[in-house]
Protein backbone atom coordinates (compact mmCIF):
# COMPACT_ATOMS: atom_id res chain seq x y z
CA UNK A 1 0.00 0.00 0.00
CA UNK A 2 1.37 3.36 -0.99
CA UNK A 3 1.02 5.86 1.91
CA UNK A 4 2.02 8.83 -0.16
CA UNK A 5 -1.52 9.42 -1.42
CA UNK A 6 -3.44 11.85 0.77
CA UNK A 7 -6.65 9.78 0.77
CA UNK A 8 -5.07 6.50 1.80
CA UNK A 9 -3.00 7.81 4.72
CA UNK A 10 -5.99 8.67 6.99
CA UNK A 11 -7.58 5.28 6.18
CA UNK A 12 -4.36 3.47 7.08
CA UNK A 13 -3.95 5.41 10.32
CA UNK A 14 -7.61 4.74 11.21
CA UNK A 15 -7.13 1.00 10.61
CA UNK A 16 -3.99 0.95 12.79
CA UNK A 17 -5.81 2.86 15.55
CA UNK A 18 -8.76 0.42 15.46
CA UNK A 19 -6.36 -2.55 15.61
CA UNK A 20 -4.50 -1.06 18.59
CA UNK A 21 -7.77 -0.38 20.44
CA UNK A 22 -8.97 -3.93 19.81
CA UNK A 23 -5.66 -5.40 21.02
CA UNK A 24 -5.68 -3.19 24.12
CA UNK A 25 -9.24 -4.21 25.02
CA UNK A 26 -8.51 -7.93 24.69
CA UNK A 27 -5.31 -7.76 26.78
CA UNK A 28 -6.68 -5.34 29.37
CA UNK A 29 -8.64 -8.04 31.21
CA UNK A 30 -6.61 -9.02 34.28
CA UNK A 31 -5.89 -12.71 34.68
CA UNK A 32 -8.10 -14.45 37.22
CA UNK A 33 -6.82 -16.06 40.41
CA UNK A 34 -6.87 -19.46 38.78
CA UNK A 35 -4.85 -18.47 35.72
CA UNK A 36 -1.97 -20.77 34.88
CA UNK A 37 0.64 -18.04 34.39
CA UNK A 38 0.17 -16.51 37.84
CA UNK A 39 -0.02 -19.87 39.59
CA UNK A 40 3.14 -21.13 37.95
CA UNK A 41 5.08 -18.04 38.95
CA UNK A 42 3.90 -18.23 42.55
CA UNK A 43 4.71 -21.92 42.73
CA UNK A 44 8.19 -21.31 41.32
CA UNK A 45 8.89 -18.56 43.86
CA UNK A 46 7.60 -20.75 46.68
CA UNK A 47 9.80 -23.67 45.63
CA UNK A 48 12.89 -21.45 45.39
CA UNK A 49 12.21 -19.99 48.84
CA UNK A 50 11.80 -23.49 50.32
CA UNK A 51 15.02 -24.63 48.65
CA UNK A 52 17.06 -21.73 50.02
CA UNK A 53 15.42 -22.09 53.44
CA UNK A 54 16.45 -25.74 53.63
CA UNK A 55 19.93 -24.89 52.40
CA UNK A 56 20.40 -22.18 55.02
CA UNK A 57 18.98 -24.41 57.76
CA UNK A 58 21.31 -27.24 56.79
CA UNK A 59 24.33 -24.96 56.80
CA UNK A 60 23.43 -23.54 60.20
CA UNK A 61 22.89 -27.04 61.61
CA UNK A 62 26.17 -28.33 60.18
CA UNK A 63 28.08 -25.33 61.54
CA UNK A 64 26.52 -25.70 64.99
CA UNK A 65 27.29 -29.42 65.14
CA UNK A 66 30.89 -28.87 64.06
CA UNK A 67 31.37 -26.22 66.75
CA UNK A 68 30.00 -28.58 69.42
CA UNK A 69 32.31 -31.40 68.33
CA UNK A 70 35.25 -29.04 68.23
CA UNK A 71 34.60 -27.69 71.70
CA UNK A 72 34.45 -31.18 73.24
CA UNK A 73 38.00 -31.92 72.15
CA UNK A 74 39.38 -28.51 73.01
CA UNK A 75 42.35 -28.89 75.42
CA UNK A 76 41.04 -26.12 77.65
CA UNK A 77 37.73 -27.90 78.15
CA UNK A 78 39.49 -31.21 78.75
CA UNK A 79 41.62 -29.51 81.42
CA UNK A 80 38.52 -28.07 83.10
CA UNK A 81 36.82 -31.49 83.11
CA UNK A 82 39.88 -33.33 84.40
CA UNK A 83 41.16 -30.90 87.02
CA UNK A 84 38.01 -29.13 88.12
CA UNK A 85 35.39 -31.83 87.72
CA UNK A 86 34.17 -34.17 90.47
CA UNK A 87 37.10 -35.91 92.14
CA UNK A 88 39.67 -33.50 90.71
CA UNK A 89 42.50 -31.74 92.61
CA UNK A 90 40.29 -28.81 93.61
CA UNK A 91 37.90 -31.08 95.50
CA UNK A 92 40.78 -33.01 97.11
CA UNK A 93 42.34 -29.75 98.35
CA UNK A 94 39.03 -28.73 99.94
CA UNK A 95 38.85 -32.04 101.79
CA UNK A 96 42.30 -31.46 103.24
CA UNK A 97 44.11 -34.27 101.45
CA UNK A 98 47.04 -33.85 99.07
CA UNK A 99 46.04 -33.02 95.55
CA UNK A 100 46.92 -35.38 92.74
CA UNK A 101 50.07 -34.39 90.98
CA UNK A 102 51.34 -32.15 93.78
CA UNK A 103 54.47 -32.99 95.78
Summarize pLDDT for 58-77 with one digit per residue, the tens: 999 999 888 776 666 677 76
Q: What is the pLDDT of residue 68?
A: 73
pTM for the complete prediction? 0.37
Cβ 83 vs Cβ 89: under 8 Å = yes
Cβ 68 vs Cβ 60: under 8 Å = no
Question: What residue ranges of the chain have pLDDT lower than 50?
Answer: 103
What is the Rg, in whole angstroms, of the alpha carbon atoms belonging to the chain?
40
Q: What is the pLDDT of residue 61?
A: 94
How far is the C-alpha of 11 from the C-alpha of 96, rounded, in Å?
115
Sign of the dihedral defined by the CA atoms of residues 73, 75, 79, 82, in that order:
positive
Amino acid sequence: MNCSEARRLPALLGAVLRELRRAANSSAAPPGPGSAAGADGSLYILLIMIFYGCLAGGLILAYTRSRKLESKHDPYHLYIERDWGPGGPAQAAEEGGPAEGQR
